Homo-oligomer: A and B are copies of this chain.
Amino acid sequence: MKTVYIVRKEHFNAAHKLWRKDWTAEKNEEVFGKCANKNWHGHNFNIFVTVKGIPNPETGFVINLKDLSAIIKKEVVERFDHKNLNLDVPEMNGILASTENLIMKIWELLESPIDLAGGTLAKIRLEETENNFVEYFGGKEPY
Protein backbone atom coordinates (compact mmCIF):
# COMPACT_ATOMS: atom_id res chain seq x y z
CA MET A 1 0.00 0.00 0.00
CA LYS A 2 1.88 2.99 -1.35
CA THR A 3 0.63 6.49 -0.60
CA VAL A 4 1.57 9.21 -3.11
CA TYR A 5 1.00 12.96 -2.60
CA ILE A 6 -0.07 15.04 -5.59
CA VAL A 7 -0.03 18.85 -5.61
CA ARG A 8 -1.87 21.39 -7.73
CA LYS A 9 -1.06 25.10 -7.70
CA GLU A 10 -3.64 27.83 -8.42
CA HIS A 11 -3.63 31.56 -7.67
CA PHE A 12 -5.90 34.49 -6.94
CA ASN A 13 -5.43 38.25 -6.51
CA ALA A 14 -7.31 39.90 -3.67
CA ALA A 15 -7.53 42.96 -1.42
CA HIS A 16 -7.76 42.84 2.35
CA LYS A 17 -6.84 44.65 5.55
CA LEU A 18 -6.20 43.57 9.11
CA TRP A 19 -8.42 45.65 11.36
CA ARG A 20 -10.48 45.14 14.53
CA LYS A 21 -13.44 47.50 14.91
CA ASP A 22 -13.31 47.08 18.70
CA TRP A 23 -9.75 48.48 18.76
CA THR A 24 -8.57 52.08 18.34
CA ALA A 25 -6.74 53.09 15.17
CA GLU A 26 -3.55 53.28 17.26
CA LYS A 27 -3.95 49.75 18.59
CA ASN A 28 -4.71 48.45 15.11
CA GLU A 29 -1.61 50.08 13.72
CA GLU A 30 0.56 48.92 16.59
CA VAL A 31 -0.43 45.28 16.09
CA PHE A 32 -1.12 45.04 12.36
CA GLY A 33 1.30 47.71 11.08
CA LYS A 34 0.94 48.63 7.42
CA CYS A 35 -1.65 45.84 7.01
CA ALA A 36 -4.11 48.04 8.93
CA ASN A 37 -4.29 50.69 6.16
CA LYS A 38 -7.99 51.64 6.13
CA ASN A 39 -8.26 51.78 2.34
CA TRP A 40 -6.99 48.20 1.90
CA HIS A 41 -3.97 46.73 0.19
CA GLY A 42 -3.64 43.49 -1.76
CA HIS A 43 -1.63 40.48 -2.82
CA ASN A 44 -1.13 37.84 -5.48
CA PHE A 45 -1.93 34.72 -3.48
CA ASN A 46 -0.58 31.31 -4.55
CA ILE A 47 -2.30 28.20 -3.23
CA PHE A 48 -0.82 24.68 -3.35
CA VAL A 49 -3.31 21.88 -2.53
CA THR A 50 -1.89 18.44 -1.67
CA VAL A 51 -4.07 15.33 -2.03
CA LYS A 52 -2.87 11.94 -0.89
CA GLY A 53 -3.93 8.44 -1.89
CA ILE A 54 -2.91 5.18 -3.50
CA PRO A 55 -2.71 5.58 -7.28
CA ASN A 56 -5.63 3.96 -9.10
CA PRO A 57 -4.08 1.03 -11.02
CA GLU A 58 -6.32 1.72 -14.00
CA THR A 59 -5.29 5.38 -14.48
CA GLY A 60 -2.08 5.77 -12.49
CA PHE A 61 -3.75 8.73 -10.75
CA VAL A 62 -4.28 9.58 -7.06
CA ILE A 63 -6.84 12.04 -8.35
CA ASN A 64 -7.35 13.39 -11.85
CA LEU A 65 -5.66 16.81 -11.87
CA LYS A 66 -8.44 18.16 -14.09
CA ASP A 67 -10.87 17.36 -11.28
CA LEU A 68 -8.59 18.74 -8.56
CA SER A 69 -8.04 21.94 -10.52
CA ALA A 70 -11.80 22.32 -11.11
CA ILE A 71 -12.53 21.88 -7.39
CA ILE A 72 -9.95 24.51 -6.36
CA LYS A 73 -11.22 26.90 -9.01
CA LYS A 74 -14.83 26.48 -7.92
CA GLU A 75 -14.28 26.57 -4.16
CA VAL A 76 -11.37 29.00 -3.87
CA VAL A 77 -10.51 30.98 -7.01
CA GLU A 78 -14.07 31.96 -7.92
CA ARG A 79 -14.72 32.95 -4.32
CA PHE A 80 -11.56 35.00 -3.72
CA ASP A 81 -10.10 36.12 -7.07
CA HIS A 82 -10.28 39.87 -7.72
CA LYS A 83 -12.29 40.22 -4.53
CA ASN A 84 -12.01 42.00 -1.22
CA LEU A 85 -11.53 39.29 1.41
CA ASN A 86 -13.21 41.43 4.08
CA LEU A 87 -16.19 42.66 2.07
CA ASP A 88 -16.93 40.27 -0.78
CA VAL A 89 -16.57 36.82 0.78
CA PRO A 90 -19.46 35.75 3.04
CA GLU A 91 -17.40 32.87 4.47
CA MET A 92 -14.91 35.38 5.93
CA ASN A 93 -17.60 37.52 7.60
CA GLY A 94 -16.51 38.49 11.08
CA ILE A 95 -13.18 36.71 10.69
CA LEU A 96 -9.85 38.57 10.66
CA ALA A 97 -8.37 38.10 7.19
CA SER A 98 -4.98 36.80 8.37
CA THR A 99 -3.41 34.08 6.23
CA GLU A 100 -3.79 31.72 9.20
CA ASN A 101 -7.56 32.23 9.32
CA LEU A 102 -7.78 32.14 5.54
CA ILE A 103 -6.02 28.79 5.20
CA MET A 104 -8.24 27.17 7.86
CA LYS A 105 -11.34 28.43 6.03
CA ILE A 106 -10.00 27.15 2.69
CA TRP A 107 -9.44 23.70 4.25
CA GLU A 108 -13.14 23.61 5.24
CA LEU A 109 -14.14 24.56 1.71
CA LEU A 110 -11.96 21.94 -0.01
CA GLU A 111 -12.14 18.93 2.30
CA SER A 112 -15.54 17.51 1.28
CA PRO A 113 -15.36 18.12 -2.48
CA ILE A 114 -11.96 16.41 -2.62
CA ASP A 115 -13.30 13.55 -0.55
CA LEU A 116 -16.23 13.16 -2.96
CA ALA A 117 -13.75 13.06 -5.85
CA GLY A 118 -12.02 10.10 -4.19
CA GLY A 119 -8.97 11.82 -2.70
CA THR A 120 -7.90 12.88 0.77
CA LEU A 121 -6.89 16.47 1.43
CA ALA A 122 -3.49 16.27 3.16
CA LYS A 123 -1.96 19.74 3.15
CA ILE A 124 -2.51 23.30 1.95
CA ARG A 125 0.17 25.92 1.42
CA LEU A 126 -0.98 29.52 0.98
CA GLU A 127 1.56 32.13 -0.11
CA GLU A 128 0.76 35.81 0.49
CA THR A 129 4.17 36.93 -0.77
CA GLU A 130 7.31 34.99 -1.59
CA ASN A 131 8.55 35.86 1.92
CA ASN A 132 5.38 35.12 3.94
CA PHE A 133 3.27 31.99 3.78
CA VAL A 134 1.35 29.45 5.85
CA GLU A 135 0.97 25.68 5.73
CA TYR A 136 -1.85 23.61 7.20
CA PHE A 137 -2.43 19.90 7.71
CA GLY A 138 -6.05 20.14 8.88
CA GLY A 139 -4.88 21.02 12.38
CA LYS A 140 -2.54 18.00 12.73
CA GLU A 141 1.10 18.33 13.78
CA PRO A 142 3.29 16.12 11.60
CA TYR A 143 6.35 17.87 13.05
What residues of chain A have their CB less than 8 Å away from a CB belonging to chain B?
A: 1-11, 13-16, 18, 20, 31-35, 37, 39-44, 50, 52, 55, 58-62, 64-66, 81-84, 87-88, 95-101, 103-104, 122-123, 129-137, 139-143
Which one of B1, B10, B96 lies within 8 Å of A60 (CB-CB)? Answer: B96
Which one of B15, B59, B66, B132 lies within 8 Å of A40 (CB-CB)? Answer: B15
User: Are B100 and A61 in contact (CB-based, < 8 A)?
Assistant: yes
Copies of this protein in the complex = 6
User: Are A137 and B141 in contact (CB-based, < 8 A)?
Assistant: no
Which one of B7, B81, B82, B134 lies within 8 Å of A4 (CB-CB)? Answer: B134
Residues of B close to A37: CB separation below 8 A: 82-84, 88
